Amino acid sequence: MELTKTVAVNGIELFVRERGEGPLVLLCHGWPELSYSWRHQIGAIAEAGFRVVAPDMRGFGRSSAPQPIEAYSIFDLVGDMVALVAAMNETKAIIIGHDWGAPVAWHAAQFRPDLFTAVAGLSVPPPWRGKGRPLDLLQAAGISNFYWQYFQKPGVAEAEFERDVAATIRGMLCGGFADPARSLFVPEGRGFIGRSAATLPLPPWLNETELAYFIEQYKKSGFRGGLNWYRNIDRNWDLTAPWQGAQILQPALFIAGATDPVISDKMNGKHVAAMEKVLPNLKNKLIIPGAGHWIQQEKPAEVNAALIEFLEQVS
């Protein structure tokens, strides 16, 4: 049976879903998602003999959402997961992340190899610290309308997304990153979502009840917390300078959808192809045909099988 509760960690409170007994597995969701995004994985992994804990991450859902942008650095986000392991009265965990949760998982393994014994990332490849701050490099390349840049000024994206939360969530999950033809660049004067979001049909992997849960939670929480993760992109580059060129030595797994625009752009495409340089103990690099960005919701059977096989190998 799945339990839900709120736990105090790292100066905030996290709402968590918990199920099962055995080695601890943390599931870190991305943006704009929730612990609910792991609904197909929690039971399956628990039934395979693991204790699964999936939080609403800092700034999302029913967890605390500090106002300061500075409260969402990669150190804060990893610190939450370190404290969550302790709050579960455990000393070791396997950490798995999707989308923004993937950098949290990768960095958790990199920062605390004593605590996180294995790591899996979905949709976003492992840390690849480039030659300069990401936003600075975009600007230097003459790019000014990438979605990361659109999210930077507090209040702008919030106003667009909160004007019609139902249309926003439908647009994100049914279009947005789910659509390989969708540009990650924001047309001048149009916003990120697009004007047809409210009428997009649901994909086969999402029903109206599931969509309604995301909408209900975001109507309550708003979008500022999650957007603040993006507002630390350059700061995270500064903070992670000591790990320049560092490898993640623990057993690792990578899963992504073949049509995911996040891995098909020029930068991340190179990182996916060469991730063994960062992950010398990579057990599997699974690219699932016909799948997009919301991989664990789109292809739960394939994702669950790969995760459970990995977990049984490393636990």
Query: Does 160 reside within a domain?
Result: no
pLDDT of residue 182: 55
Is 293 a known active-site residue? yes
CA–CA gap between residue 212 and residue 61 (Å, rounded)? 14
216 within domain boundaries: no
Is residue 191 included in any domain, yes or no?
no
Pick the catalytic residue: 99, 107, 260, 271?
A: 99
Kindly state whether residue 150 falls inside one of the protein's structural domains: no
The CATH number of the domain where 259 resides is what?
3.40.50.1820
Q: Which two tokens stand for residue 151?
A: 């999210």
**Mean pLDDT in consecutive groups of 10 residues from the start of the chain, 315 residues:** 97 98 98 98 98 98 98 98 98 98 98 98 92 94 94 97 95 73 75 82 96 98 98 97 96 96 76 93 96 96 98 97
Domain residues for the domain of 32 are 3-145+240-314
Contact 224, 252 (CB under 8 A): no
Please state, in angstroms and rounded to a whole number, the distance separating the CA atoms of residues 24 and 50. Answer: 6
- Helices 101-111 and 74-87: angle between axes, nearest 10 degrees: 70
278-309 in b/e burial notation, b at 16+ Cβ within 10 A? bbeebbebbebeebbbbbbbbbbebbbebbbe
Report yes or no on 212 lying in a domain.
no
> What is the reported pLDDT for 302?
98
The reply to whether 183 falls in a domain is no
Both structure tokens of 168: 């926003």
Q: How many structural domains are present in the chain?
A: 1
Give the three-state DSSP class for 86. Answer: helix
134 inside domain: yes
pLDDT at 179: 54
Task: State the pLDDT at residue 266.
Answer: 65
Predicted pLDDT at 23: 98
Q: Give a yes or no: residue 118 inside a domain.
A: yes
- Flag whether the pTM goes above 0.75: yes
265 is catalytic: no
At 105 the pLDDT is: 98
Report pLDDT for 198. Answer: 81
CA angle 93, 25, 49 (to 5 degrees): 115
